[in-house]
Structure 1
Amino acid sequence: MRHRNLSPKALAAPVGMALVLASGFPLASESTEEHGDTPREAFLYVVAIDTGDGNNPDMLAIVGADPDRGDEYGEIIGVESLAHAGDNVHHWGYSLDQERLLIPGLFSDRFYVFDISEDPRDPQLVREEEGLRPDSGYVAPHTVSPLPGGVALVSMLGADTPSTGPGGLVLIDDETGGFVRHFGPGPERAADDTGPEFMYDIAYNADLNRLVTTTWGYPGDVLENPYGPSGDTVSVWDVEKEEVIQVVHLGEQSGATEADWFHAPDSRYGYTVGTSGNAWLWEDEDGNGLLDFHVVLSDLALPCDMTLSPDDRYLYIANWFGDNVQQYEISDPYQPELVGEASVPHPCMMRLSPDGERLYVTNSVLSTLDDDPEFGPRNDAYGIYLLEVDAEQGGLSHVTEDGSAWADFSSVQKENGIGPAGPHMILFDPGVPIEAGHH
């Protein structure tokens, strides 16, 4: 039996994953001739919401990404429908051993567990977990971040309260999706409990024993009309102590969302973006364990996602309202320099290839936001857009000649017919290894 009640010190331990391939099933390329020791993704997992009349459940789709398999490249090669309608699949993750996929319903508080240990191209639904909300007191599971000890850290946007706040963190069992315990305070807090008030994304740095969690807003404010980011702070955690050691105010309704640390193991830098249109650099240059935040970009067009290149040379931002993806050179992290841009209709989530040469972009957010009249006509070209990256000089270009979707999601085989589906977050096949804190 694996130990489920993970000790705080175990959480802070860096983990390097060994690459384990399922015999007989092509995964990420093992070729070192072109890419050195960097594996190349062979296929993608992507969660997608049902769009249309709501008669179909959301789904997990598999998309071929190996150009040597021309019959699959850029094609949806498999669809696994979830068991219930209305989950609103959004962010999700792996178990640390990459044998299971952990998919929460943002609106349903339900967790689906798919086993991929036998055949990664044929995920098997092995568990539906309904107990997270009643057992934890929290609602709206968001980021899923795998950790050692058979658990995953999950950010919960809010609580089962009239205000739908506060947000918090929980640990779940990575085999069942079941609640293990709170990480830090639960939703019922003593007066001296230090935050977080809001919760969204998780940025984990094992080497520094730090978490940064972001703060889009309470579920009642951001998931239904009228929408408005209510979060104005980010929280900095001591991982071993499971305590918030800093609450940093970024400005009224700053709505900080996606966040990540630089990849270099000795780096003390990271970025977050917010729905207010800003990007912030955080740093601990003096090594005192506390982070200072600096606005480094402004007037972004509602950035929906950000990601960093493996070599920490480039920052990528998807501007949902700007209909573009931008590439910034960040040799000076305080002064990002725009070096590449590509048009994508309503870009949302991104996933950069391990070699930094291919950027996959989706364009669906939530059923309540996609095609909402408040935002005007939106997302009439659902798909995954593949951008080639010029990693030497900077630059982004579509692999399709006309800039259309590389993988088309406008006509997907659903449980009850064929129609559009909204792709959101992508994970690479398990031949691309991950580490603790991956999200």
Structure 2
Amino acid sequence: MRPTSRAALALMTFAVAASMHPARADETCNSPYLSNLIKGQEDYLYVWTLGVPGMGDGSDKLVTVDVNPRSKQFGKVIAQLPVGGRGEAHHAGFTDDRRFLWAGGLDDSKIHVFDIHTDPAKPKLVKTITDLPARSGYVGPHTFYALPGRMLVGALSNTKDHGGVTGMALYNNKGEYITKYPLPTSMGGDGYGYDIAINPAKNAMLTSSFTGHTNYMMDLGTLIKNKTAMGNFGNTMVLWNLKAMKPEKVFKVPGAPLEIRWSQHEGDGWAVTATALTSKLWLVKKDAQGQWQAREVATIGDPAKTPLPVDLSLSADGKGLWVNTFMDGTTHHFDLSNPEAPKEDYAKHTGSQVNMLSQSWDGKRLYVSSSLLANWDKKGADNEQFVKLYAWDGKELKEVFQLDFAKLGLGRPHHMKFGAAASQRVAAARE
């Protein structure tokens, strides 16, 4: 069989398996194919951090924070692992066995593979993959989405013109390239990429769209003033047939739809996204005729002020959604009891700039990080660089601790993932 055929067969087989055994742990944004899941209190927070010239060693690094309240080191950095250089550290994702964390650089297109299983408190860098541009023609590895024995890597750009037309590359868990899947430029598609989210029970994969290397490496103030550059943002989402790994439908979703979140609640079959430039929530769901549709369902903040929604976290029951808006530093909560008509019921200013957020499965803890992109972060006093933990009681976010990554000489904290001590993994495996 050709590599593409083998990949499609594996996806088809495990799509059925995952639909029978839905994930019930970790963050709701993780791939449904993860095993060795965290089912209780997370022990560690892995923070993929951008290096800053003159700050500490100046390198991108994986920072490990102890987040178990029973630990004597609670709220402290217990390990940092530089990768040797600055490549615009951005997103990371676990392999399906949850033993390794893949993390990418949007500028140098390197993919660093960390062993977070042997000693979860002290990850090890075991491999750096450098062949993405040469093998696929794509640059800017952004989303790392676990498949059975494989990793689907969603890119943001290409080697030809550093624009937004791109695709996804498939690797095996050893880091060996298998094949690629271009994002459609036909069917009304713009070919742009960003996030990946799979619902095996619906045989559905969704992808969203952002912008290319030329834009995301440009100073934000310069970018906003450049009308041509501002026209080079994605305005589509794509529905894929998961088993066939082929695009079936392109949705028009104006304003750069970013993170995609499928509801994990049993019986739900819908997903949400937020558009960065137009500040809207969109719902992807089948209509009364059984056809997939995407439509705008809510507004986030004041779109006239361009709050710039960046990250989403959907509760495990599908009834609550957290949204961070970067420009005004606000963390919003929406009641999604009726996903057709979300209502904002809480908001808190959590920093001068806020970007990523990670919610525990039980919904009681919310982690917030500050950095978006090195050239998009704010200047001067507003250039806060932190990780904060908040407790959520259903009514109010209360700060538990914060780490100033600038004062600690670590850099700009971006993507966060949970880790568990070996004892917890064993307990989870027995359940």
Shorter-chain TM-score tier? 0.7 to 0.9
- Partners of 2:113 and 2:127 within 8 A in 1: yes
Distance change in 2, residues 1:193/1:314 (3 Å): closer
Q: Percent identity?
A: 25
Matches of 2:169 and 2:189, distance apart in 1: 14
* 220-229 or 351-360, larger mean C-alpha shift: 220-229
1:334 to 325, 340, 351: 340
Residue of 316, 319, 327 corresponding to 1:321:
327
Q: Say whether 1:353 aligns with 2:360.
A: yes
**Kept in 2: contact 1:207–1:265 (CA 8 A):** no
Shift of 1:287: 6.3
Q: CA deviation at 1:52?
A: 3.7
Distance in 2 of aligned mates of 1:410 and 1:86: 16
Please identify which structure carries the higher helix content. Answer: 2
Structure 2: distance between partners of 1:408 and 1:290: 44
Are the equivalent residues in 2 in contact too, given 1:194–1:243 (CA < 8 A)?
Answer: no
For 1:410 and 1:49, the matched residues in 2 are separated by 11
The 1:98/1:331 distance shift into structure 2, 3 A limit, reads same
- Could you say what secondary structure the match of 2:16 adopts? coil
* Residue 382 of structure 2 is aligned to residue 378 of structure 1: yes
Task: Name the count of aligned residue pairs.
Answer: 388
Which residue number corresponds to residue 416 of structure 1? none
Instruction: Name structure 2 gaps, 5 residues minimum.
Output: 26-35, 224-229, 426-431
Residues 265 and 207 (structure 1), Cα distance of their counterparts in 2 relative to 1, 3 Å cut: farther
Amino acid at match of 1:388: A
Provide, for residues 201-254 of structure 1, a one-character-per-residue CA deviation record: whole Å limited to 9, x for no partner.
112111111111111122222332443361111111111121111111123xx0
Indicate if the aligned counterparts of 1:38 and 1:355 stay in contact, CA closer than 8 A.
no
State the one-letter code of the partner of 1:197: G
SS of 1:172's partner is strand
Q: Is the 8 A contact 1:168 1:196 kept in 2?
A: no
* Structure 1 residue 407 displacement after superposition: 2.5
Give the structure 2 partner of residue 161 of structure 1. 160
Shift of 1:410: 2.3
TM-score by length of 1: 0.82
Superposition pairs for residues 95-110 of structure 1, below 5 Å? 95-110=95-110
Number of the residue aligned with 2:271: 270
Asked if the contact 1:236/1:244 (under 8 Å) is kept, the reply is yes
Question: Tell me, what secondary structure is at the counterpart of 2:215?
Answer: helix
Structure 1 residues 292 and 192 mapped into 2: Cα distance closer, same or farther (>3 Å)? Answer: closer
* TM-score of the pair, normalised by structure 2: 0.83
Is the counterpart of residue 135 in structure 1 residue 135 in structure 2? yes
Give the direction of change, closer, same or farther, for the CA distance of 1:172–1:378 in structure 2 (3 Å limit). Answer: farther
CA distance in 1, matches of 2:313, 2:67: 20
1:378 to partner: Cα distance: 3.1
Distance change (3 Å), C-alpha of 1:287 and 1:110: farther
1:58 matches 2:60: yes
Q: Specify the SS of the correspondent of 1:144.
A: strand
Work out which of the residue numbers 359, 364, 370 in structure 2 matches 1:363: 370
Q: Which amino acid aligns with 1:369?
A: W
The Cα offsets for residues 31-74 of structure 1, whole Å up to 9 and x where unpaired, read as xxxxxx941111111111112447621000100111111x3111
Task: Go from structure 1 to structure 2 and tell me whether the alpha carbon gap of 1:378 and 1:420 turns closer, same or farther (over 3 Å shift).
Answer: farther
- Provide the rounded CA distance (Å) in 1 between the counterparts of 2:407 and 2:344: 35
Q: Match for 2:124: what amino acid?
A: Q
What CA distance in whole angstroms lies between the structure 2 residues aligned with 1:169 and 1:213? 10
Partner of 1:91, secondary structure, is strand
Find the aligned partners of 2:266 and 2:420 in 1 and give their Cα distance. 23
Alpha carbons 2:164, 2:193 under 8 Å: kept: no
Is the CA contact (8 Å cut-off) linking 1:151 and 1:173 kept in structure 2?
yes
Distance change (3 Å), C-alpha of 1:398 and 1:116: closer
User: Aligned letter for 2:144?
Assistant: V
Deviations 1:153-190 (A, max 9, x none): 111112111252412111122232x322113x37xx8x
Residues 189 and 236, structure 2, Cα contact 8 Å, conserved in 1: no
Structure 2 match to 1:403: none
Contact 1:349-1:361 within 8 A present in 2 as well? yes
Contact 1:341–1:396 (CA under 8 A) maintained in structure 2 = no
Matched, 1:408 2:404: yes
How far 1:11 moved relative to its partner? 5.3
What RMSD in Å do the two structures reach over aligned CA positions? 2.6
SS at match of 1:291: strand
Equivalent position to 1:233, from 225, 233, 236: 236
